Amino acid sequence: MTLIALALSLTLVKAQTSTVTIDFETFTLSPNTAYSNTNSVAFSTSSVSFQYQWHTSFNYWSGGFSYTNKYDSAAIVTSTPGLYGVKPFKGYNNSNTYVIAQDKGIVNLSAPSTTVDGFYITNSTYAYKAIRHGDSFARKFGDTTGTGSGTTIAQGSYPDFFKVTVKGYKNGSLKTDSVPFYLADYRFSNNAQDYVISNWQWVNTTILGDVDSIKFYIYTSDNGSFGPNTPLFFGIDNFTVKYSTAGIGELNSVSKAKLYPNPIINDLIINNPAQR
pLDDT band at 177 (very low <50, low <70, confident <90, very high): very high
pLDDT over 70 for what percent of the chain?
78
pLDDT score of 146: 60
State how far the Cα of 113 lies from the Cα of 246, in Å rounded to an integer: 10
* 15-248: CATH topology: Jelly Rolls (2.60.120)
pLDDT at 73 over 60: yes
- Going from the C-alpha of 68 to that of each of 26, 29, 53, 76, the distances in angstroms are 12, 8, 15, 18
pLDDT score of 7: 46
More confident residue, 76 or 143: 143
pLDDT score of 153: 80
State how far the Cα of 12 lies from the Cα of 114, in Å rounded to an integer: 22
- Residue 191 contacts residue 94 (beta carbons within 8 Å): no
- Residue 179 contacts residue 203 (beta carbons within 8 Å): yes
**Rounded mean pLDDT of 67-72?**
95
pLDDT score of 8: 44
pLDDT band at 84 (very low <50, low <70, confident <90, very high): very high
- Residue-wise pLDDT tens digits, 3-33: 444 444 444 556 688 999 999 999 999 999 9
State how far the Cα of 129 lies from the Cα of 139, in Å rounded to an integer: 10
pTM over 0.85: no
- Going from the C-alpha of 246 to that of each of 1, 18, 116, 250, the distances in angstroms are 27, 12, 18, 13
- Residue-wise pLDDT tens digits, 188-241: 999 999 999 999 999 999 999 999 999 999 999 999 999 999 999 999 999 999
pLDDT at 267 over 80: no
Domain chopping of the chain, boundaries:
15-248
> In 3D, which of 120, 51, 126, 135 has the Cα closest to residue 85?
126
State how far the Cα of 198 lies from the Cα of 242, in Å rounded to an integer: 28
pLDDT score of 9: 46
**Which region among 167-171, 225-229, 259-263 has the lowest average model confidence (pLDDT)?**
259-263
State how far the Cα of 139 lies from the Cα of 160, in Å rounded to an integer: 10
- The maximal CA–CA distance of the chain, rounded, in angstroms, is 95
pLDDT score of 258: 58
pLDDT score of 67: 99
